[in-house]
Structures are given as structure tokens and as C-alpha cells.
Amino acid sequence: MPNLERIIRLKTVLARTGLSRSTVYRKIAEGTFPHQVKISVHGTGWRESAVNRWIDDPVAFRDESAAR
């Protein structure tokens, strides 16, 4: 069975991380929080595994996709 990546929306990200919306977007711009992925024309979400990596070690987190 393939490993299916779960996509979570902003409300869930805020609840899981305890961050405010503005802090999430500031950290994305700094490269210290995972970037969103486009899931529809007007919708985005986050890979749950990336958010979990941030939760495990927020100080050391660097978004690898931002470096590309």
C-alpha cells in the first residue's frame, strides 16, 4: 500500500502548533516553517509530515523546499 501524505488546512495547523496566522506566514517567509502546497485553484494546505517535523524541533527546522 502506498504511503499517502495527508494534507492539513490552516485551522488545523494553527491548532496543532499554537502559532497565530501571522506568525505562520512570517515563519514561512523566513524559511523556518513548511511552505503550503496547492490543493485546488483557491486552496492550499500543508503536508502533515512537514508540520510534524516542525513540531518535533521548531528551532532547528529549515524548509528544504525553500532552498530549491
Residues 10-68 pLDDT 10s: 999 999 999 999 999 999 999 999 999 999 999 999 999 999 999 999 999 887 765 54
More confident residue, 3 or 54: 54
pLDDT over 70 at 1, yes or no:
no
Cα angle value 22/44/46 (rounded, 5°): 75
CB 3 within 8 A of CB 9: no
Q: How far apart are the first and last CA of the chain?
A: 29
Cell 516553517 found at = 33
Q: What is the pTM assigned to this prediction?
A: 0.84
Class of residue 50 by CB neighbours under 10 A (exposed 0-12, middle 13-18, buried 19+): buried
